[in-house]
Structure 1
Amino acid sequence: MPDRTRGIRSVSGRTLSFWWGCGVFLLAVLPFLPSAGYPFLVEWDDGRFVLFNDRLLPSLENALHLATHTFQTLYTPLPMLSLMVDRFFFGTLPAGYHWHNLLLHGVSALLLFLIFRRLEVRDWIAAAGALLWAVLPARVESVVWIAERKDLTAGVFAFAAFWLFLRAAAAGKASLVSAVLLFLAGISKPSTLPLFGVMVLYLYCRSGRWSSIRLALPQIVSALAATAIVTGISMVDLAGEAPPPEGESGLLGAMVRFCRYVAASVLPAGMNPLHPRFHVADNWLPGVLSAAGVALVLMLAARKSGLSWRAMLLFACAFGGMWLPSEASGRFTNADFCERYGYFPSAVVWGFLVVIAERLLLRHPDWRRGLAAGAVCWFVLCAGVTLWYLPVFSDTAKLFSYAVEAARVPNAKAMEGLALTGFNRNDPALIAQAGNAFLEAAEGVPEKARLLYENTGRCFAGEAAMRRGDLPLAAQLLLEPLNATAEPAMFAPEQYLGGWYGNAVSLLLAANRQPAALQLLNRQLDRGIGSEAELAFAAGVRCYLEGDRAGARKAWLRARELRPDDPRIEFNLRRLGEFGAGDK
């Protein structure tokens, strides 16, 4: 009689893997479920790139624009098109966008589970590794921030591409579908492009022959094509723009950043959105020690499990390759560490861990209960910290306040965002908090940047004082930086500086210092500081002070066209006594 037991075991094994996969999907999403009720983080890019982005209105013209232009300085058409789909179905209701994010993250965790199974790891170990990757607090930034759809979209394509590649490689075949998915991952987020190198390394380490790399030729071609497209469109779109400020460079800085990403891959600690610049000279020791501890534990466990040096080299090079885009981002953007940048490198670390766990159980079957208990405890710890951390992303005031308070020298974007939130909500306390944060941070930044921080801090503090009605303090804080001979160094001058000039002029006029007010108005108009509406308003004030009432009326009418809801313009027009029916 034919032996059917092997087939029965195979079907049973597939069924069990199916239920493990379902469990991974559900548990990966579970700690993030409260985020479905969160609003848009308007002042942290959700407003500019999602809520108020007319390019997301569903139309063929907008779809073509999204497919051929950069957003947030990156060419990421697929995430933007997915947000357009959300706009079509959910309009401006944030819950639909959040549920889409949760779905993508759950699918990414499921695909990572399937990848681990392809590495010949038993079901429960593969599920533990995928879940522990998925529920780390470092995932919160990628999952909850709607504008950061890039990680989630790229994650689904990248993990699916790698899983199909592994399945094809096991059969000695190349996978064209995997290559297509890798291309889609690359144009979802360029940091996935080094994944083709991981595939090449895997083929070599698996067979020990360079000839086996031919199986990855479709992925190599796909990655090169995506790189060419991303680079070409970015160069055209960003031509002429000023380069972002550089972070700390050098070998030591790179080593410290590398260590921080290693530690953040497994430890539920050090969370801080909009992370500050990392001052290597002051803070290198904790980062290096924590990462060295993680690396030492991994190495000892690998040797204890009998894992070959070739396999360890594979994972080390894979992590390094996937970390390189984060290193480039760290050196050329406004932060040298971001939780979201670890989305893909951390998956490599968990792949290493599940392979070690599998090998340990093969050598020591009696360790099963201990490893399982450890995985459950670590999951509970990580999920608990994630649930504690999640509400930080429920409101921009909480988000920016947390980011400011969690760092000795906060990231300027966090302080500026806190002030913007205060402006939008007319909350002097938030504006004052931002101003004080800039002034305190000025003591910890290099000398060349100190005046920039001091001026910005004084002006924010002056704005808050003016909104509270403390006019003497507002004048004291605002006038000194604005009366400087050279144009004052400020953060985001195009957004705030014109308003600060207007406030300073109002304070001078309230103190009967008309010559000083005229001098400040001339400086603002000569330098073109402010929006068109602010400049038109300032021109009207200057004409009024100089006795040219017709010129003042003309300028203020123009300002009213540009900013019809500004009560100051209406008040000034009424003062002229010429607010007739024809002006309405």
Structure 2
Amino acid sequence: MKPPGNKRDILICLVLILFVIIIYWQAKDFKFVYYDDGTYVAERAHVMAGLTWDGFKWALTATEAGFWHPLTWLSLMIDRELFGNNPGGYHWTNVILHILNTLLLFLFLKRAAKVPIRSAIVALFFAIHPLHVESVAWLSQRKDLLCTFFGFSSLMAYVYYSESPHWRRYSVVLVLFILGLMSKPMIVTFPFVMLLMDYWPLQRMMMKGAAGNGIVTNAQELCTGRRPFGALLLEKLPLVVLSVIASVLVIFTEHKVQALTDLKVLSITDRFANALVSYVKYIAMMFWPANLTFYYPHPVTTPLAQVTGALLLLAVITAIIMLIWRRKRYLFTGWFWYVGTLVPVIGLIQVGPHAMADRYTYVPLIGLFIIIVWGASDLAARWQSGRLLLWVLLIVTTGSLSVVSWWQVSYWRNSVTLFEHALKIIPENYIALNNLGQYYITNGAYDKGLAYMNSAIQVKPKFGPLYYNVGLAMYGRRDYGKAIQYFKKAEQMTFVDDENRRMLGDCYRLMGEWRQAVDIYEKALEINIENVSARYGMALALMEMERKDEADKELRKTLLADPHHLSARKILMLLALKRGDMTTVVTEGQKAVANGSADAEVHKMMKYAVGETTGMDKDAFPVHPSKDNGSENKQK
């Protein structure tokens, strides 16, 4: 006896939740990894400050990470408020978002297609597939999960709108879509997905075809609520306009942070070749998810045989689908869902040095899952024992995928487990060598870190960030002369980066070459005016040059960008003490107390300023800017 609809749906949702929890439960103990997690959390002052008004205003305009995604920043700030410095809490938020995305996929597909069990199996594959582990276990992919949450919500709202079109329902679709774009512009293809859904499973599209003796009339079509293709396309126009704006914006922001690969480095031909091969590789990895890693180096030149084979295979699949698309409509929607939603990340506009990435399949694989589930169900219906065989295959597949995913999740436990696993898969993975070297250098194991860096340089001698990280090791050893050589070498390798210049400035400052340091800091700020460490370093150098008014100005700018910068606050208070400006001492001290950054020295200076401390001269608070190394060094 089948359970009633509502009880059945609740049971399905509970099963889906259970699978996700079993696979990802271990994430609660995971750490931040040396792969963008610093950029998004640990080294991002506004995020580390928690949910503040200043942080909210910053999030609305920030593009430092290459995207305009204010909702992603705000979600991380909320995590900071909830979990503090515990990375496990941030990871668990990702898991919760994956659960919500899984449930939304099931619910909107079930309502659209009116086939609960098939919809549930598609959602199950989405929940447990190893290719989706990267999107969930990697903290920095919060943006993918959040934009998918709002994207799926917009699809659910669109299904409701299709049942009874009204501007109020359409406005809900529009708002949810905008929220998705504000999380990450990955969902720019969703207007296209909605158009595919109009064809199947919603069947809103007016089709001319055989029905009995011939033609279905327009009147008959209109009675069923179907509309011409042009009308449905026009209906999506506001969404398309938003997608175009978001696409242009992301190209601008990625170019701003120098993340776009130049055509001189990777030609159009090479990009198309890699795109074709990647389409096929993703399909192969879906069926056989082995040797998955966080980074796949770009081959630059793809073998002609691979390109030709991929092109032929894709052409054959597309041709077959176009021949039978009227009889098996799910094939058309599923295939072009896969092909279409991959377009923004297939590498035609190349961001970063990778050839492909597991995370890019988070939404596109749904199209293939639809083809597999609906296709297998149709095939099983053709013979008597087909249904039983199908359930056996489902159980085996579910068990296998769950086990592989559990292991894949475990590799994301920390930087060492992630990068060592990657090197087992691809020994010459220079990004893994670089990042593992970063980890050891940051933790003081310079010899071990430099060994990995040197191995990476042998693989990719013209990759600028490698020289930057060797420079950090030399800086950590206080060998500032050698550090300068490597920071300069990094810039020669087209690594024009604000942090590289900031560290170069720090080296000059600590060697007593203050004028040179100020010049370098100014160049760092030309790249990123919000580089707090560069501005603070410049203030210290200006103080050494006795340009204290200018130093005071830079310290105030530092605190405007990062109100929790205690060193800048204390030096500003010390300068005020030296010139007898007790009002500024008290005012700045109160600000530090208010935001929780004040320490014993702050309170001591405040007491002196208001006359509570007697028998102590203001020279008891010496200023030694040359001994201040600034904030933490950021890894690349």
Query: Structure 1 length as normaliser, TM-score?
Result: 0.72
Contact 1:499/1:534 (<8 A) preserved: no
Q: Give the Cα–Cα distance (whole angstroms) in 2 for the partners of residues 204 and 185 of structure 1.
A: 23
The 5 Å alignment of 1:359-398 reads: 359-364=378-383, 366-398=385-417
The range that moved more, 481-490 or 356-365, is: 481-490
The one of 277, 290, 294 equivalent to 1:269 is 290
The one of 178, 182, 190 equivalent to 2:177 is 182
**1:136: Cα distance to partner?**
1.6
The one of 125, 128, 131 equivalent to 1:135 is 128
**1:500: Cα distance to partner?**
8.8
The one of 103, 107, 111 equivalent to 2:104 is 111
- The superposition leaves residues 317-351 of structure 1 with CA deviations (integer Å, 9 ceiling, x where unpaired) of 22221011112476232322111111111112112
Q: Give the Cα–Cα distance (whole angstroms) in 2 for the partners of residues 486 and 158 of structure 1.
A: 40
- The superposition leaves residues 267-309 of structure 1 with CA deviations (integer Å, 9 ceiling, x where unpaired) of 3124111321134435974x98799889989999x89999836
**1:106: Cα distance to partner?**
0.7
Contact 2:144/2:186 (<8 A) preserved: no
**1:224: Cα distance to partner?**
2.0
Partner residue, 1:53:
44
Paired amino acid for 2:360: Y
Contact 2:254/2:260 (<8 A) preserved: no
Partner residue, 1:460:
470
The 5 Å alignment of 1:561-572 reads: none
Contact 1:248/1:331 (<8 A) preserved: no
Q: Give the Cα–Cα distance (whole angstroms) in 2 for the partners of residues 142 and 224 of structure 1.
A: 27
Partner residue, 1:164:
157
3-state DSSP of counterpart to 1:44: coil
The one of 234, 241, 249 equivalent to 2:268 is 249
- The superposition leaves residues 209-234 of structure 1 with CA deviations (integer Å, 9 ceiling, x where unpaired) of 46266467554413423542564587
Closer/same/farther in 2, CA of residues 422 and 479 from structure 1, 3 Å limit: closer
Closer/same/farther in 2, CA of residues 381 and 305 from structure 1, 3 Å limit: farther
**1:135: Cα distance to partner?**
1.4
Structure number with higher helix proportion: 1
Contact 1:76/1:188 (<8 A) preserved: yes
3-state DSSP of counterpart to 1:148: helix
Tell whether 2:193 aligns with 1:198. Answer: yes
- The superposition leaves residues 470-515 of structure 1 with CA deviations (integer Å, 9 ceiling, x where unpaired) of x9xx99xx699769999753757765688799999x9xxxxxxxxx
Q: Give the Cα–Cα distance (whole angstroms) in 1 for the partners of residues 386 and 87 of structure 2.
A: 46
Contact 1:151/1:189 (<8 A) preserved: yes
Tell whether 2:155 aligns with 1:155. Answer: no
Closer/same/farther in 2, CA of residues 212 and 528 from structure 1, 3 Å limit: closer
**1:249: Cα distance to partner?**
3.4
Q: Give the Cα–Cα distance (whole angstroms) in 2 for the partners of residues 60 and 479 of structure 1.
A: 39
The range that moved more, 191-200 or 111-120, is: 111-120
Q: Give the Cα–Cα distance (whole angstroms) in 1 for the partners of residues 245 and 194 of structure 2.
A: 20
Closer/same/farther in 2, CA of residues 261 and 439 from structure 1, 3 Å limit: same
Paired amino acid for 1:39: K
Paired amino acid for 1:460: V
Q: Give the Cα–Cα distance (whole angstroms) in 2 for the partners of residues 483 and 47 of structure 1.
A: 20
Tell whether 2:441 aligns with 1:423. Answer: yes
**1:148: Cα distance to partner?**
1.3
3-state DSSP of counterpart to 1:386: helix
Closer/same/farther in 2, CA of residues 404 and 539 from structure 1, 3 Å limit: farther
Partner residue, 2:30:
38
Paired amino acid for 2:189: P
The one of 245, 250, 258 equivalent to 1:228 is 245
Contact 1:429/1:464 (<8 A) preserved: no
Tell whether 2:340 aligns with 1:321. Answer: yes
**1:173: Cα distance to partner?**
6.8
Partner residue, 1:27:
19
Q: Give the Cα–Cα distance (whole angstroms) in 2 for the partners of residues 489 and 199 of structure 1.
A: 45
3-state DSSP of counterpart to 1:332: coil
Paired amino acid for 1:22: L
**1:433: Cα distance to partner?**
3.8
Paired amino acid for 1:179: L
**1:441: Cα distance to partner?**
0.8
Q: Give the Cα–Cα distance (whole angstroms) in 2 for the partners of residues 375 and 53 of structure 1.
A: 44
Q: Give the Cα–Cα distance (whole angstroms) in 2 for the partners of residues 524 and 419 of structure 1.
A: 29
Q: Give the Cα–Cα distance (whole angstroms) in 1 for the partners of residues 311 and 15 of structure 2.
A: 31
Number of equivalences: 519
Closer/same/farther in 2, CA of residues 46 and 458 from structure 1, 3 Å limit: closer
Q: Give the Cα–Cα distance (whole angstroms) in 1 for the partners of residues 56 and 83 of structure 2.
A: 17
The range that moved more, 161-170 or 90-99, is: 161-170
Q: Give the Cα–Cα distance (whole angstroms) in 1 for the partners of residues 246 and 428 of structure 2.
A: 37
**1:85: Cα distance to partner?**
1.9
Identity %: 19
Closer/same/farther in 2, CA of residues 303 and 349 from structure 1, 3 Å limit: same
Closer/same/farther in 2, CA of residues 439 and 121 from structure 1, 3 Å limit: same
Closer/same/farther in 2, CA of residues 187 and 365 from structure 1, 3 Å limit: farther
Q: Give the Cα–Cα distance (whole angstroms) in 2 for the partners of residues 394 and 485 of structure 1.
A: 33
Q: Give the Cα–Cα distance (whole angstroms) in 1 for the partners of residues 123 and 70 of structure 2.
A: 27
Partner residue, 1:432:
450
Q: Give the Cα–Cα distance (whole angstroms) in 1 for the partners of residues 490 and 436 of structure 2.
A: 27
Partner residue, 2:76:
83
**1:197: Cα distance to partner?**
1.0
Structure 2, unaligned runs of 5 or more: 208-226, 525-532, 559-564, 568-618, 625-636
Q: Give the Cα–Cα distance (whole angstroms) in 2 for the partners of residues 242 and 483 of structure 1.
A: 18
Q: Give the Cα–Cα distance (whole angstroms) in 1 for the partners of residues 87 and 488 of structure 2.
A: 44
Paired amino acid for 1:196: P
Contact 1:186/1:193 (<8 A) preserved: yes
Paired amino acid for 2:327: S
Query: Structure 2 length as normaliser, TM-score?
Result: 0.67
3-state DSSP of counterpart to 1:336: strand
Tell whether 2:369 aligns with 1:353. Answer: no
Closer/same/farther in 2, CA of residues 388 and 296 from structure 1, 3 Å limit: farther
The 5 Å alignment of 1:323-342 reads: 323-328=342-347, 331-342=350-361
**1:455: Cα distance to partner?**
10
Contact 2:254/2:351 (<8 A) preserved: no
- The superposition leaves residues 15-49 of structure 1 with CA deviations (integer Å, 9 ceiling, x where unpaired) of 212211221122133201101111222x3222232
RMSD of equivalent CA atoms? 4.8
Partner residue, 1:146:
139
Q: Give the Cα–Cα distance (whole angstroms) in 2 for the partners of residues 317 and 116 of structure 1.
A: 16
Contact 1:155/1:185 (<8 A) preserved: yes
Contact 1:482/1:488 (<8 A) preserved: no
Closer/same/farther in 2, CA of residues 214 and 180 from structure 1, 3 Å limit: farther
Partner residue, 1:546:
none
Contact 1:29/1:105 (<8 A) preserved: no
- The superposition leaves residues 382-414 of structure 1 with CA deviations (integer Å, 9 ceiling, x where unpaired) of 2111221222211123323333453365254x4
**1:194: Cα distance to partner?**
0.9
